[in-house]
Structure 1
Amino acid sequence: MDNFLDFEKPIADLEGKIRELESLDSGSDLEINEDVSKLRQKATQLLKSTYSKLTPWQKTQVARHVDRPKLFQIIEQLIDDFTPLAGDRGFAEDHAIVGGIGRFRGRTVMVIGTEKGYDLETRLKHNFGMARPEGYRKAQRLMKMADQFGIPVVTFVDTSGAYPGIGAEERGQAEAIARSIQVSMDLRVPVIACIVGEGGSGGAVALATANSVLMYENAIYSVISPEGCAAILWKTREKAQDAATAMKLTAQDLKALGIIDRIVEEPLGGAQRDVEGAIEKLGDAVEEELKVLSQKEPGELREGRRRKFLAMGRLEGVE
């Protein structure tokens, strides 16, 4: 891996030394092989030590890593016969939200998710994963279609938030997000949401109002970005690290608070180090949740989802 984060510099230095020695190795130099083996063990230990005590701000950096699993990679690995469905039937196609029907391990599912892109061209095409109103209206259309045909909905969330542009606001961004939440609340089919990177603001909740909310262990999920929170509270983005700690945005904090239902373990060093392995673990978790939810009646699924979200933030004994 070439894209190291700031706190990974000692790991980067070790792995750089390993590559240097490997480039000198002719395959028969026992001493070099032993040195490489020792350095690899040291790098692995350092990786374990580093990732076992990440701060909320460091987890935020990991969640934003450019090499983390992208929606198209997830679809390619987990969804067979994927057929994309485009447009909101009202204004335009939004490329930040991708949706369609496919087969997940033998089951037909409706897939809806945010795509950030992996290079400048695709990031611009997908607007860095920040959806406009037509994207959320497309999501609503696909959710209703899934409900009509009794197809489970699986969503994948990786967005810093909904697009805040003037045009988006003029076309009803807030209404589109609220309506997506409302439509999801009314569904009578299983809904599983996966927070795979950033789960930012209402733009994430619009796709994460689910019976089961899964979250990678190094992902983040919050009402606002740490930088945005710091700018409001302290009038400076330099306090982002303090904000990240105060906001309880890590998977571990959110599981304890009852906001998410399950933490999906990542490969050592984060999902960005083994994308295929991370996606496979996510697929296993989705399959397990889907098996449980598929045994429930349609009315039970809807009522359970409503109770789940209405209970969030409620003080015990206070109506």
Structure 2
Amino acid sequence: MTDTTASTPSGARPAPGGTFPLGPRAVARIGFGAMQLGELPGRTLPTDDDATAVLRRAVELGVDHIDTSHFYGDDTANRRIHAALGSADDIAIASKVGAVRAADPAAPVPLVVAQKPAELRAQVEQNLRTLGRDHLDLVNLRRTDAGHGIIATGDQIVPLDDQLAEMIAMRDEGLIRSIGLSNVDAAQLRQALPAGIGEIQNAYSLVARDDEDLLALAVEHGIAWVPFFPLGSAFPNAPKVADQPAVQRVAAAVGATSAQVGLAWLLAHAPNVLLIPGTGSVEHLEQNVASGSVELTPGQIAELDAVAAGVLA
């Protein structure tokens, strides 16, 4: 492993993992996902002090891209970001719309679909209020056609073009600076390209590579690829990157954790990957950021590539 900041000029902010454009601005390739700063079923919510410590330490380490949403803990994550970091424009804030918190807090799935254009605008406005900002650097439109979680039915099945028209209008008004897409396929990205897309956010990891065609299209068009579940799905019985023997072997060889190797593989796999691992722990945050300094040999990358191909177990 090498020092993340070794090649950083004196006085400059480090850029963990290097940089890549997120819409109109370049950001460090390792950012921070704020989901764990809001309430999650079955997990202990970090205290306000812990959340502040994590966010401020992230900035010290060079993180300048935070991914959040108003429905992470019913605005809890957004309010904590604002309390810890204020409204300074040196941190890119990305958010997500397309769902809202369920009215029943005991519901098996804490979110409900909210895909209509007016609902998307209301969610953007809610994010702006709770983050204390006058614009968002990027907003992901989370489609609910397929995949895990909530699925649109009835009048919530909204044409993508209608949604994009509203997103473009908000961009023209200055409420958002760039449009992202989440939970989409290659055909939907091609449909959306004329709107100007800055990010794709889909489930993707060493053990879940169904979207290679979509990733290739994003690389072709210079669009950031921001995977969620980057270390494997959070759903029960789904494969986890850290459980793979090949990952564990490489981790032992390079002196890193299995999670760090899984994140480093993503950075090496495509130049447009931006990572947003989340945590409520400063120690875990520092480990995640250090993933940007894990160097994998071509042979190690080939060994890890083979995991998804089913060649190695």
Structure-2-length-normalised TM-score: 0.33
Structure with greater proportional helix content = 1
Q: Which has the higher contact order (CA 8 A, sep 6+)?
A: 2
Structure-1-length-normalised TM-score: 0.32
